[in-house]
Amino acid sequence: MPDPTTQSNYLAIASQHVDLVWELDWTKKAITGHATHSAIVNEDGVQEFIVDTLFLDIHKVEVEGESAPFTVGNHHEVMGSPLRISLKQPQSAGTKLSIRIVYETTKDCTALQWLDKEQTAGRLFPYLFSQCQPIHARSLVPLQDSPSVKITWAASVTSVLPVLLSAIRVSPPSTGPAHDGKEIGKESVVYTYKQPVPIPSYLIAIASGNVRYKPFETVPGKDWTTGVWAEPEVIDAAHWEFCEDTPKFMIEAEKLAIPYKFGVYEMVVLPPSFPYGGMENACLTFLTPTLLSGDRALVDVVAHELQHSWFGNGVTQADSSHFWLNEGWTTYMERMLLRVLHGQEERDFSFLMDFKSLQDSLKQYEDRPKYQRLVIDFEYGEDPDDAYSKIPYEKGSNFIYYLERSLGGPEVFLPYVKDYVSTYIGKSINTFQWKDHLFSYFKQHNPSLVADVLDKIDWNAWFYGEGLKLPEEYAFDTTLAEEAFALAARWDTSRLVADPSTVGFKKSDVEAFNTNQKIVFLERLQVLAPLPKAHIDLLGDVYGFRSTLNVELRFRYYELALASPAGPSIKEEVAEWVVDEEFKSGGVKGRMKFCRPTFRGLKKVDEGLAKKTFEGSRERFHPIARRLIQKDLGLI
């Protein structure tokens, strides 16, 4: 089955390398320039090269240096328009062609958000960033937008603001003066980058704004470097949050898999409208500023994005139907890192923490059970963004954890993991190729496990099972969650008392908790029957959940409050908070994990308010978030 989300003819002729020459036009809010593909013909008789585009203006096409006829097909709502380029005469297999497309982006390009200066921490310069996964790369570059196609690329980008790309900086040096010593915002600098490792198109990314670099300590004997980019106002906090753990994660991750292939592992902390927690763009992970909680409690997102370097960026899903191979494996490995660095209890705590998000996602899709599956057979043109949820992450990682336990634990399983990565690194695979390798590995290394374990697993239940339950559920170690559970139980029984201030709840109840324990506490309350209004009010005040700048906590408190009798009295406050642009209070809550459930919660209390709030502030959200919130609110 070819990738159902692309209109390109990548099987007949495949792009192998792309050279990008871009100029950032900050006034017009457009990227202008050209993309030159080096493509190889795979079948005799190929007469056209078809690439995906989404809201791009195509100016001109050249094949082998000569102007070539092209057509831009009808716009498909999800997949965009196929750009069909004629190749003059039928080509024979093995032929290599150079195809240049001159184009520019438009205001509708779904990958890009151009922020005004007021939407940044420094408020002095505008900002641009992209989000290409799953199928938005086609609105940044005309290309064959399928993860089954892996390409190397290089770029030269001219801009009056520093430019970051998901590749290796060639010039000017990252550690040199910002913007090559030129005046930021006024003078142009040409930034050049190269990506010599073949990657899927969804890992192409750009960020540009007033950013600075701060490296982490180098690790002796390693040829990779790590560090963080952010606006000057945020760089020290960003450096502190990640400097301890990132190099450690790298060292252990290499031991678990194979050496890191991408040369540099940098990250950039983006403005608050970034729609995800993290995005594993090659060489340059993109991060939400909501990770800067000041206690390093949310660094597991870095562990996750780093693990994608092997699971996703190295071994890649063939298409969106096998998204769980990227995310389920990465989540499993992220937690394996926790086990190596902090012990088994931390690993189980992490599984436990996300179990509620799995249940929430499964419930959310009760009307579309297809999206409760691990392997989702997408129809041609179906939108993978509609299926995005925690299910591939949590069902997937629970599945692999179950395999690990069934096969005899990490000692038996980890050597297999290494073999899996080494076998498929650089390739794009589907679920069946993954399963074939699993069987052949154990057949070779421990044949009794094939008959005793693998043959007995209910593969169909895991791959295609629907409903709210996993085929096998596991009782995780709850040691690290006990105190949070106990405090939640105290609040639960306090509902019998009309005036909760007489119960003796104190700020010190949670003082020894880190962010993750507080999250577990709030989530435990969320699954219990709603508390009375007086209790919800006290909870917000006594522990500071109603005023904290920690978005993970404030968001969960608001979710809890909206679903309780306190909903009508707090709805206005929540509405203001979610679209708030004030940087001091965390800015817009653009991360979809926060804004989507908040809007859905508001809708349940006051649909008119939810719609009005969104519509008055839609430009603050990234185009991808904008579209999904509109769908959630029934606006489209």
Q: Give whichever of 129 and 276 is closer to ligand BES, judged by the CB atom.
A: 276
* Partner touching 383 among ligand BES, Zn ion, none, CB below 5 to 8 Å by kind: none
Q: Which of 277, 328, 540, 590 binds ligand BES (CB under 6 A)?
A: 277
CB of 215 to Zn ion, least distance (A): 24
Q: Give whichever of 329 and 558 is closer to ligand BES, judged by the CB atom.
A: 329
| Closest by Cα among 440, 429, 131 to 286 | 131
| Closest by Cα among 157, 114, 282 to 619 | 114
Please report, as residue ranges, which positions from 134 to 153 form the binding site for ligand BES (by CB under 6 A): 134
CB of 326 to Zn ion, least distance (A): 6
Please report, as residue ranges, which positions from 288 to 307 form the binding site for ligand BES (by CB under 6 A): 301, 304-305
Tokens read off for 493: 């029984």
Q: Which of 22, 129, 191, 276 binds ligand BES (CB under 6 A)?
A: 276
* Partner touching 134 among ligand BES, Zn ion, none, CB below 5 to 8 Å by kind: ligand BES
Q: What is the 3-state secondary structure (H, E, C) of 465-495?
A: CCCCCCCCCCCCCCHHHHHHHHHHHHHHHHC
Please report, as residue ranges, which positions from 590 to 609 form the binding site for ligand BES (by CB under 6 A): 593
Say how many Å lie between the first and final Cα of the chain, rounded.
31
Please report, as residue ranges, which positions from 407 to 436 form the binding site for ligand BES (by CB under 6 A): none
**Position of tokens 């104190």?**
506
* Size of interface with ligand BES, in residues (CB under 6 A): 15
**Residue 145 and residue 135 in contact, taking contact as beta carbons nearer than 8 Å:** yes
* CA pair distance 609, 630, nearest whole angstrom: 14
Assess 278 for contact with ligand BES (CB under 6 A): yes
| Closest by Cα among 458, 358, 346, 324 to 402 | 458
**Which residue's Cβ lies closest to ligand BES?**
277
Q: Give whichever of 134 and 172 is closer to ligand BES, judged by the CB atom.
A: 134
Is 572 labelled a binding residue?
A: no
Is 131 labelled a binding residue?
A: yes
Q: What is residue 504's DSSP assignment?
A: -
* Residue in 393, 420, 424, 558 annotated catalytic: 393
- Catalytic residue status for 62: no
Is 322 labelled a binding residue?
A: no
Is 308 labelled a binding residue?
A: yes
Which stretch in 102-110, 149-157, 185-193, 277-285 sits in contact with ligand BES by CB under 6 A?
277-285
Assess 310 for contact with ligand BES (CB under 6 A): no
* CA pair distance 465, 481, nearest whole angstrom: 29
* Partner touching 586 among ligand BES, Zn ion, none, CB below 5 to 8 Å by kind: none
Kindly give the residue spans of alpha helices, DSSP state H, lying in 544-591. Answer: 551-562, 567-579
Assess 29 for contact with ligand BES (CB under 6 A): no
Is 592 labelled a binding residue?
A: yes
Residues 6+ apart with CB under 8 A from 110: 54, 55, 136, 139, 623, 624, 627
Q: Give whichever of 80 and 500 is closer to ligand BES, judged by the CB atom.
A: 80
* CA pair distance 416, 479, nearest whole angstrom: 29
* Partner touching 276 among ligand BES, Zn ion, none, CB below 5 to 8 Å by kind: ligand BES
> Residue type at 365?
Y
Is 596 labelled a binding residue?
A: no
CB of 277 to ligand BES, least distance (A): 3
CA distances from 296 to 164, 214, 227, 516, 542 (A): 25, 17, 16, 10, 23
Tokens read off for 509: 């109840």
Is 132 labelled a binding residue?
A: yes
Is 23 labelled a binding residue?
A: no
Assess 200 for contact with ligand BES (CB under 6 A): no
**Position of tokens 């699993």?**
438
* CA pair distance 113, 480, nearest whole angstrom: 40
CB of 309 to Zn ion, least distance (A): 11
* Residue in 48, 305, 346, 394 annotated catalytic: 305
Tokens read off for 17: 């390398």
| Closest by Cα among 249, 227, 238 to 121 | 238
Beginning with the edge strand found earlier in the chain, give each strand of the sheet holding 81-91 in spatial order: 46-53, 81-91, 70-72
Q: Is 458 exposed, middle or buried (0-12, 13-18, 19+ CB in 10 A)?
A: exposed
**Cα Rg, the chain, nearest whole Å:** 25
- Catalytic residue status for 252: no
Which stretch in 212-220, 249-257, 276-284, 399-407 sits in contact with ligand BES by CB under 6 A?
276-284
**Residue 47 and residue 12 in contact, taking contact as beta carbons nearer than 8 Å:** no
Q: Give whichever of 228 and 279 is closer to ligand BES, judged by the CB atom.
A: 279
CB of 431 to ligand BES, least distance (A): 17
CB of 441 to Zn ion, least distance (A): 24
Can you list the positions of beta strands (E) in 27-162?
Answer: 30-41, 46-53, 56-63, 66-67, 70-72, 81-91, 96-105, 112-115, 127-130, 150-159
Is 122 labelled a binding residue?
A: no
CB of 98 to ligand BES, least distance (A): 31
Please report, as residue ranges, which positions from 300 to 359 form the binding site for Zn ion (by CB under 5 A): 327, 330
CB of 361 to ligand BES, least distance (A): 12
* CA pair distance 287, 246, nearest whole angstrom: 13
List, as residue ranges, the binding site: 131-133, 275-280, 304, 308, 327, 591-593
Residues of the shown chain interacting with Zn ion in the complex, contacts defined by CB under 5 A: 327, 330
Residues of the shown chain interacting with ligand BES in the complex, contacts defined by CB under 6 A: 133-134, 276-280, 301, 304-305, 308, 327, 388, 393, 593
Name the residues annotated as catalytic: 305, 393
List, as residue ranges, the binding site for Zn(2+): 304, 308, 327
List, as residue ranges, the binding site for a peptide: 131-133, 275-280, 591-593
